[in-house]
Amino acid sequence: MRQSIVVGSRSSALALVQAESVAAALRALYPQRVFTILHIRTEGDRVLSRPLVEIGGKGVFVKEIEDALLAHDVDLAVHSCKDLPTEQPAGLTIGALLARADPRDVLVARLRCPLAGLPGGARVGTGSLRRAAQLRALRPDLALADIRGNVDTRLRKLDEGQYDAIVLAAAGLSRLGLEGRVSEYFDPQVVLPAPGQGALALELRADDAEVLELIRPLDHPATRQAAGAERAFLRGLGGGCDMPIGAYAWPDGGELALRGMLAAQDGGNPFYAEGRGPAAEPEALGERLARVVLEGVPGR
């Protein structure tokens, strides 16, 4: 039995809060073991001068952490599920998905107003093609601008007047105790979140049966179903962080409902579709809806 387990995490304040929450839950379950956190800087954290789509999109916030897992420098990785590519590298697996926090996107505005209250031409910051496509459909008169950096950096840029509003994930603000900054919570069926948004994924080596057994109590079946459907939709479209794709799954009358969105690469013409199916078959639902979207989007 290993006495010490090393948990790998990005080095941002939000990532460390998330990793510490996992380590605390494991310490409560296994007080005889030691759980430490190793800070790892990813490419997405280092390269802040260019939009995510220009530095590769897929895996830019996880690759270095996955390399550390494969090198046995860490035993467990804590990721925001939305940052994970839909396929894991050979030798790695997702061992647990924790109960999902709020999956919604939120508006944080200097005027403390909702999206409808922003004046025409207001400068709204987002680093997400998915968010930009849906905001443009709702308010084509706004000036959307790229923004990079962690949550604190983005809020500072907003407060300095570089933007009139920014769009962030509700879960991140909540985990940092910053819910008071929210001007509006977007309906997740109107502004679709990123697949898996709000959920934490625990990744480990596929042959590490000991750690897999340790994290098993943290797995949340309902979150695994919803995220499974959303990520299958993403996989079916061949997408990642570099494509304007949104998805949101929720339980509905004993079934699982899924709403998905795909926009053009330039963020125009978002196409929405919805389906439902047995909750026990989330991946099949996601794959089926992806086919519906691909058939419905011109030029695909």
Provide the annotated active-site residues.
Answer: 83
DSSP 12-54: SHHHHHHHHHHHHHHHHH-TTSEEEEEEE--HHHH--SS-GGG
E runs forming strands in 87-192: 92-97, 105-109, 123-125, 143-145, 165-169, 184-185
76-80 β-sheet, strand order: 34-40, 4-10, 76-80, 200-205, 92-97
Count helices and strands in the chain by DSSP H and E runs: 9, 13
CA–CA distance, 257 with 268 (Å, rounded to integer)? 25
Instruction: Tell me, rounded to whole angstroms, the distance of Cα 97 from its chain centroid.
Output: 12
In angstroms, the CA 281 to CA 269 distance is: 30
- Residue length, the chain? 300
**CA–CA separation, 84 vs 68, rounded Å?**
15
